[in-house]
Amino acid sequence: MALQYIPDFIYDAGPTGYGELILNLLISMKKLERGQIIEVISYDPGAKEDLPAWCRMQNFPLLDRKNFGNTIHYFIEKC
């Protein structure tokens, strides 16, 4: 049975690249309480590498990543 996460907030980054995606993600994360989950939806192929690396650097757990064709959904917990 696969784990499923229910996000407290959804950020649809669309095709935005790394710089804009991270800036908007930081703004969105500030709205969350510790332990809440944000779902980031990205169409940027570079996010597959960039977003997990950013999570590691920021010590935000990347709980899950789901691929839906050209769209990737990331589930990140705010610590």
1, pLDDT greater than 50: no
The model's pTM: 0.91
DSSP E strands: which ranges in the chain?
9-14, 37-42, 62-68, 71-77
Domains of the chain with CATH codes: 9-77 (3.30.110.40)
> How far is it, in rounded angstroms, from Cα 74 to Cα 51?
8
- State how beta strands 71-77 and 62-68 pair: antiparallel
Backbone phi, psi, residue 45, to 5°:
-60, -30
Q: Record the tokens describing residue 52, joined without a space.
A: 């997990």
- Helices 18-30 and 47-58: angle between axes, nearest 10 degrees: 40
Confidence (pLDDT) at 59 = 94
**Using one digit for the tens of pLDDT, what is the confidence trace for 10-57?**
999 999 988 899 999 999 999 999 999 999 999 998 999 999 999 999
